[in-house]
Amino acid sequence: MRLGFLTNYSTERVLAAKEMGFTCLELHANSLPLDDDAALAKIKSEFDENGLGVSAIAFYDNHFEAGKEDAQAEYFAGVLRTAPKLGCNVVATMSGCTTESQASGDVLQTIPTFQKYYSEHAKVAEDNNVKIAFENWPGGHPAPLLINIAFCPQAWDAMFDAVPSLALGLEYDPSHLVRLNIEYLPVIKRYAERIHHVHGKDTTIDSALLNEVGYIGKDWWRYSIPSLGVVKWDSVFAELKAIGYDGDVDIEHEDDAYSGDNFDEGLKIGQTFLSKWVK
């Protein structure tokens, strides 16, 4: 198990990661030269020389944007084929969300389209020994949904029933489950064989404000650096150990308290804290 963070690729971020004590990075696909094998080989060498690995390639976009479904599918297949060239076996992504689900908030309306495209993506992933890990971001929840339906067990079950391949799984992020009032510990055991990647992100809750504005009110929660929110990380890692999880953990830094010039300070706090379990 390695510890890293989500970022765009650059030599600067590779060197910063090494200096801060991280051992891997999750890289945004749009920051990589996907069609240039020579450039990818150079990036792989750079990581090797600095003692780092690529934990995942991230494509966080709507696979099912109206009129762009086929183009997105072609691009995503390219991302799946690129991952092994960087020594990486995980591609993290959003599931996609159709206009019908966006309008209604009903995640199940996306399933027929999901089945059509991910049946093919699963074959490409299997052929390249790559796992697809769905980020459980509930953007727009409860309505309108935006680009993802893969944020709750109801959707996960429907998705995996539609496309049973074990190449499809989850990028487990407890912070999103916290804000949705979904129990974030039991799902680890329930989806043990489907957890392909883990995001280190916490959620801070203002209970007093929540009592004033209610669940659909604003500003009662915010994402935070691990250790600064309500997630019980000792329990998370105990559950991950119990299922034999041996993948990587990447901090997804979205803590506004450590933005701008203080961004790396937030990463260092997360690195120091999570290193108690990720060694």
What does the DSSP assignment read for 172-231? E-HHHHHHTT--TTHHHHHTGGGEEEEEE-EEEE-HHHHHHH-TTSSSSEEEE-TTSSS-
Confidence of residue 68 (pLDDT cuts 50, 70, 90): very high
DSSP string, 104-129: H--GGGGHHHHHHHHHHHHHHHHHTT
pTM: 0.97
Confidence of residue 4 (pLDDT cuts 50, 70, 90): very high
Confidence of residue 279 (pLDDT cuts 50, 70, 90): confident
pLDDT value at residue 144: 77
Give the mean pLDDT of 30-36. Answer: 97
Give the mean pLDDT of 56-61. Answer: 98
As a dihedral over the C-alpha atoms of residue 48, residue 194, residue 221, residue 218, rounded to 10 degrees, the angle is 120
What H or E segment, with its residue span, contains residue 251? strand 249-251
Arithmetic mean of pLDDT over the chain: 97
Q: Top-level CATH class of 3-202+231-274?
A: alpha beta
User: 74-102: b or e for each residue (b if 16 or more CB lie within 10 Å)?
Assistant: ebbbebbbbbebbebbbbbbbbbbbbbbb
Q: pLDDT > 70: what percent of the chain?
A: 99
Domains of the chain, by residue range, sit at: 3-202+231-274
Q: Is the pLDDT of residue 140 over 90?
A: no
How does pLDDT run across 191-250, given as a tens digit for each residue?
A: 999 999 999 999 999 999 999 999 889 999 999 999 999 999 999 999 999 999 999 999
Give the mean pLDDT of 88-99. Answer: 97
The three state secondary structure string of 34-84 is CCCHHHHHHHHHHHHHCCCEEEEEEECCCCCCCCCHHHHHHHHHHHHHHHH
pLDDT value at residue 18: 98
Confidence of residue 141 (pLDDT cuts 50, 70, 90): confident
Q: Is the pLDDT of residue 142 over 70?
A: no
Strand, coil or helix: what is 133? strand
Q: Is the peptide bond before 144 cis (omega within 30 degrees of 0)?
A: yes
Look up tokens 């086929």; give the residue.
Answer: 70
